[in-house]
């Protein structure tokens, strides 16, 4: 049973449109993350959260917003989607053990912006 | 720029052979993690090695850490076709942020 679930799995959006990617976790982890994966760049951190109501900027936050309304849910919002945001997006929850996080990932969302 | 970086873009071996993936990092760390990502899936952690450990094993996997040279390696012995995946190292510049390298693509052929 998947503990981190992303929806939708695939999305086609138009340039300038608003896109919301959703993530739900049943791990009861405090930390959640959004990454994008592109060939040649690996996984790049967009936003992360320490818990409900908190969001923090990652390494590439421009053009993205995040929302953490509850422990279980973490959304990534593209207010004005651009073709450069075409990518595969991964959500993860973090099991913080002492001073380290083990991340548990969802299956990814493939986004195409036309 | 990446805080952690695997040294090779891609590797190819035959089943049964051993292979090593290397990673270098730029910041002081408390631990380094290795993840594997199979096609169509999200990454999954393989090993977490703390800064006071020099070696950690998990079945056929062995990770080493050299804090003086800021490098780590992940070795896989007796490779199988199902080891075909992208392998990432990841570090944490602060307690909650986790930064991944660009990954090494490993192909294991029969």
Asked whether the predicted pLDDT for residue A17 surpasses 60, the reply is yes
What would the mean pLDDT of A24-51 be, rounded to a whole number? 94
Looking at per-residue pLDDT, the higher value among A107 and B96 belongs to: A107
What would the mean pLDDT of A49-68 be, rounded to a whole number? 96
Nearest beta carbon to residue B96 from set A31, A41, A108 = A31
Minimum CA–CA partner of A47 in chain B = B97
Q: What values do phi and psi take at B82, rounded to 5?
A: -70, -5
pLDDT of residue A99: 67
Poorest-pLDDT segment among A22-36, A77-91, A95-109, B38-52: A95-109
* Helix, strand or coil, per DSSP, at residue A40: coil
pLDDT of residue A1: 62
pLDDT of residue B96: 82
pLDDT of residue A28: 92
pLDDT of residue A81: 97
pLDDT of residue A43: 94
- DSSP string over chain B: --SEEES-SEEEEETT--EEEEEEESS--SEEEEEEE-TTS--EEEEEEETT-SEEEETTEEEEEETTTTEEEEEESS--GGG-EEEEEEE-SSSS--EE---EEEEEE-
Interface test with A, best of B39, B42, B65, B95 (most A CBs within 10 A): B42
Asked whether the predicted pLDDT for residue B7 surpasses 70, the reply is no
Q: Would you place residue A114 in the very low, low, confident or very high pLDDT band (cuts 50, 70, 90)? A: very high
Nearest beta carbon to residue A90 from set B42, B90, B102 = B42
What would the mean pLDDT of B77-97 be, rounded to a whole number? 91
- DSSP string over A63-103: T-EEE--SSSB-EEEESS--GGG-EEEEEEEEEEETTEEEE
**DSSP-derived secondary structure letter, A44:** E
pLDDT of residue A90: 98
Rounded to the nearest integer, the mean pLDDT of chain B is 91
In chain B, which residues have their Cβ closer than 8 Å to the Cβ of A108? 41-42
pLDDT of residue A55: 97
pLDDT of residue A25: 97
Q: B56 in contact with A at a CB cutoff of 8 Å?
A: no
Nearest beta carbon to residue A43 from set B30, B50, B88 = B88
Asked whether the predicted pLDDT for residue A2 surpasses 70, the reply is no
Query: For residues A84, A90, A94 and A95, what is the CA-based torsion angle, rounded to 10 degrees?
Result: -160
Rounded to the nearest integer, the mean pLDDT of chain A is 94
pLDDT of residue B2: 58
Asked whether the predicted pLDDT for residue B31 surpasses 80, the reply is yes
């Amino acid at each position: 049973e998947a503990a981190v679930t992303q929806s939708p799995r695939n999305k086609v959006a138009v340039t300038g449109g608003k896109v919301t990617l959703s993530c739900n976790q049943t791990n009861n982890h405090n930390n959640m993350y959004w990454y994008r994966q592109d060939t040649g760049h690996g996984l790049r951190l967009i936003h992360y959260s320490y818990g409900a109501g908190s969001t923090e900027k990652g390494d590439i936050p421009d053009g993205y917003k995040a929302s953490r309304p509850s422990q279980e849910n973490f959304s990534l919002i593209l207010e004005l989607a651009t073709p450069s945001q075409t990518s595969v997006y991964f959500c993860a929850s973090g099991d913080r053990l002492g001073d380290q996080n083990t991340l548990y990932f969802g299956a990814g969302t493939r986004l195409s912006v036309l | 720029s990446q805080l952690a970086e695997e040294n090779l873009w891609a590797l190819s071996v035959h089943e049964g052979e051993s292979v090593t993936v290397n990673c270098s990092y730029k910041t002081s760390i408390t631990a380094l993690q290795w993840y594997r990502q199979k096609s169509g899936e999200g990454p999954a952690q393989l090993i977490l090695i703390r800064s006071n450990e020099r070696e950690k094993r998990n079945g056929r996997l062995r990770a080493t850490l050299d804090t003086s040279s800021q490098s780590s390696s992940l070795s896989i012995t007796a490779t199988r076709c199902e080891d075909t995946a992208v392998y990432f190292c990841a570090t944490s510049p602060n307690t909650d942020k986790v930064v991944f390298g660009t990954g090494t693509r490993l192909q294991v052929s029969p």
